[in-house]
Amino acid sequence: MGDLALAAEVVVAVVAVPVAVALLGHRARRRGIGGSVPAPLEEIGDPVANRTNIEVQVHAERTTPAPAPGDRRL
């Protein structure tokens, strides 16, 4: 009986952890905080996609500097 319980626990853990991570990521993206919550897990799974997401966030946060007084408009 102990072996069966151990096998059931392993199966539940193997299934429950990825499902929980997927639900957490879905919830975070729906709330607009998708970059910060699942990022460490995404970096483990797909480092290139994580670096791309970081570059996109940095680019989105950039602002154009205000023109100095006396600058001509192009």
Q: pLDDT for 14-51, tens place per residue?
A: 998 888 888 887 887 788 776 666 777 777 878 887 78
Q: Give the residue from 15, 42, 13, 10 showing the smallest Cα distance to 29.
A: 42
* Spatial distance between the Cα atoms of 7 and 72, rounded to a whole number of angstroms: 73
pLDDT computed for residue 10 by the predictor: 93
**Sole residue written with tokens 């408009």:** 73
Q: Enumerate the domain spans of the chain.
A: 2-60
